[in-house]
Amino acid sequence: MRCERLQAAGEPAALAAELRALVPEPLSVREAVAEIIAEVRSHGDEALRDYIRRFDTGGAEPAPLRVAEHELEAAAAGLDQDVRAGLELAIHNVRRVAEAGLRPDATVQFDRHEVILRSSPVASAGVYVPGGRAPYPSTAVMGVVTARVAGVERVSVCAPPGRGGDLHPVVLGACWLVGADVVYRAGGAQGVAGLAFGTESVDRVDVIVGPGNLYVQEAKRQVFGEVGIDGFAGPSDLVVIADGDADPGPLALDLLAQAEHGPGTLVIGISDSDAVLTALEAMIENGPESDAVARLIEVRDLGDGLELAQALAPEHLQLAGPRAERLAPEITRAGCVFVGNASGTAFGDYVAGSNHVLPTGGAAKFASALSPWHFRRGFTEVRIEDGTALARAAAPVARAEGFELHAQSMEARIRDNGSR
């Protein structure tokens, strides 16, 4: 795998922008996706099956859109025992971490009124499980388990079938293990459109989450507003900050492993140690061929490395070596942070319990990993015992905004001499 080495110079934000620009902007698929969505919205199953023939099965007649329950059960029974054990551990760990992320309702008490912060789950959710380059049973775990912890009653999985017309058995088995209510053999923008608007065979959902190719993500963007989404999940990225005491062997494997995600993936190693960077360069250059973009960056000190990582706001950030690991409390912009030489990103992709559906492309500046809160709606409940003081304070503000009746509606609650 080709890997270039750079010296950090200038502003971290400028270097971060240069590094991001190494991954070319994808060709726009907006119009093509809009057409697909419109067709599925208008023609339902007929359009879905048309697109499945065109994009997934190579012209072969698609299998039924809904996977029968006995097919899921049979796939689970046929799983390799080691694979099943790994999936079951992932389910257990992801559930525990998701449960820890839920917050109870809270009440803010004032003198004569209170505001209650409440939340409730959406009624239904769709989890998109990619299937282009490889099957992703782990994504079924990340999405369905998290939705269940959030309290969603009906969780659907949507995934693209292969040339034979069916989903990979390991994906079907994982869907059975996590308890998906229904699984659809439909991928791409057409699958997202089916979940967003419903068809004769596909039930509409309230929220759609999960990674996928550019067509999938553009479709999520276009149906947002009709349904909720988790965000725009683009190509993957990993930044490793290592000091001179870090073991470069596992770190090189971490970078190469992330590069397995293919074109558009960005992997970056940062260190103030020439020896570590030289070792990483040799191992990466001798690694498998990849379309990913790899760069190694020498910084004067790890403080500069921290600033660059913060500017990049990576999907995954690893800190390896004692001095690098001490930076962890200062990290505020990353999808998930892995601390310590033993904490490879791949553990987060499968069994650590953290969610692998993460903000990409620098979106960690403002976005978060998939969590139960992507499936819950927050709202407030207001209970006012005596609105006198509030009305006297707010009515002038309402009138300043030109809303006389707002003012009057509040003043109607003013109590004369403390009683009404």
Q: Identify the active-site residue in 39, 71, 218, 316.
A: 316
Question: Do residues 4 and 19 lie in contact, with contact meaning Cβ atoms separated by under 8 Å?
Answer: no
For residue 331, CA distances in Å to 152, 241, 313, 327 come to 32, 12, 9, 7
Active site residue 4: no
Question: Do residues 356 and 136 lie in contact, with contact meaning Cβ atoms separated by under 8 Å?
Answer: no
CA neighbor of 170 nearest in space, from 132, 131, 213? 131
Order the strands of the 113-121 sheet from edge to edge.
Answer: 106-109, 113-121, 376-384
Question: Do residues 146 and 179 lie in contact, with contact meaning Cβ atoms separated by under 8 Å?
Answer: no
Between CA 196 and CA 205 the distance in angstroms is 6
Length reported for the chain: 420
CA-angle at 94, arms to 89 and 100, nearest 5°: 130
Between CA 113 and CA 209 the distance in angstroms is 38
CA neighbor of 343 nearest in space, from 353, 333, 357? 353
How many C-beta atoms lie closer than 10 Å to residue 91's C-beta?
Answer: 21
Q: Identify the active-site residue in 71, 298, 315, 325.
A: 315
Chain Cα centroid distance, residue 214: 14
CA-angle at 245, arms to 244 and 249, nearest 5°: 95
Residue type for position 108 = V
Active site residue 315: yes
Q: For 342, left (φ over 0), alpha (ψ -120 to 50), or beta?
A: alpha
Question: Do residues 244 and 160 lie in contact, with contact meaning Cβ atoms separated by under 8 Å?
Answer: no
Supply the DSSP symbol for 22: T
Q: What is the largest CA-CA distance in the chain?
A: 85
Phi, psi of 171 (to 5 degrees): -70, -45
Between CA 121 and CA 307 the distance in angstroms is 38
Question: Do residues 140 and 171 lie in contact, with contact meaning Cβ atoms separated by under 8 Å?
Answer: yes
Between CA 387 and CA 189 the distance in angstroms is 51
Q: Which residues are designated catalytic?
A: 315-316
